[in-house]
Structure 1
């Protein structure tokens, strides 16, 4: 059976009530200023609510979110996200982004996994990531690139140990004939990330894909539509980056967006949807 799901990313749901002064004496100081002066005006929870409405109307099997569910990785934000996801009424799969491990404290305490672990249930090899969700003839593979970084830096890293596990997972699932959909937050195509925003081990990730392939790679992070391919062992692997799910911008390519996918081992279809200022509109030119 095919798997039908909606992919969105970078929803940046905000709730700061209860945050203590001491929690701002780190990278959150610069991030908070940016949030108040810029980001807060450009994102709306309403758009995520509209994505959920579309997911129900399309009767999809699952909602997939590739990171940056929060802004500053504060507990009130995670409480809001968990509440919102529990109300979706459909299965949800999430992976973390850099904003979800915004500080070393958030990373050490495994705040993302503690609050949102129920949306990452699956097979694991003695570590949180990658995790595998087998859904009929399709396998979702959740990879984490979320690491804390310096102010004004938003880099990511898979890491040698996770890459080794990913190598084994992709090989095993290929042998079983499953359609492998890799979920990752940072872009994996060379040259598309902004300065100080990229994946530190992009080349090493590409080598894993070159050895074993995948049927599809989905990401977010750059808040814009990104499309291309990575070399695979027998054919190119499609890579799709989606704009922020809650972004109010009307700048071409940077609209709020989500994609509707139907995936099976021998075929993948997609319809891209963008926020036109009043509603999410399907873009026939972005069909895949």
Structure 2
């Protein structure tokens, strides 16, 4: 018989539930709301008939996320400019890092249907038994397997083939910040891959470039132009952190804080994700405070 107090079982599962919801939704604020709703349902459930608290809670969180994604997709169709996941600085709790998904993979998940996303995360990332996934999604096990296969095919190209050493990543991130601050074209060219892409998310709240910049020449011109226009002396390095296993620079330009996540390939920066939307930087702001 399970204890009357439902807190212990739930708190044991909370970190994994929060990470699952964040991976599903790309927003930690929305993930926290989903986990809180799952707590309410857990506290009211007949826990004596629940064999596996972890499985029951995973199922509830997944279904709540699927409902949330229906409205989220509609909102993102009218989103101003690029949409990027909320950058969450890696916490010391190993349970929050165990899924080993990078920030770029989070963005790749956006191209999947909600069911493909759920099947991939539960099957490939959280090692959930196939029968449990089938029950959660209301699909036959064979159908779930096909969903996971399709999802895997879509995201395979986004897995980093050349993961950078954490300390080397921080060194290169600092070098990139300094080169961008000064508008140093030679240094930027040496740091960036030939096919580098730059995406910026302002959410219509602050200035950001709406389209993806592709290619080293365009990226170098962009950063040199920004340094000339706004003055490199106004850019301040606040911290170098890790976001989902990838180096990131937290900086301030004037009154605006931004997080720049870097993806590396063969020792060069292959993708740059610039988060400027203040709605997605609240946690980073509180961390700095």
What is the TM-score when the length of structure 1 is the normalising length?
A: 0.25
Could you say which structure has the larger radius of gyration?
2
Task: Provide TM-score, normalisation by structure 2.
Answer: 0.25
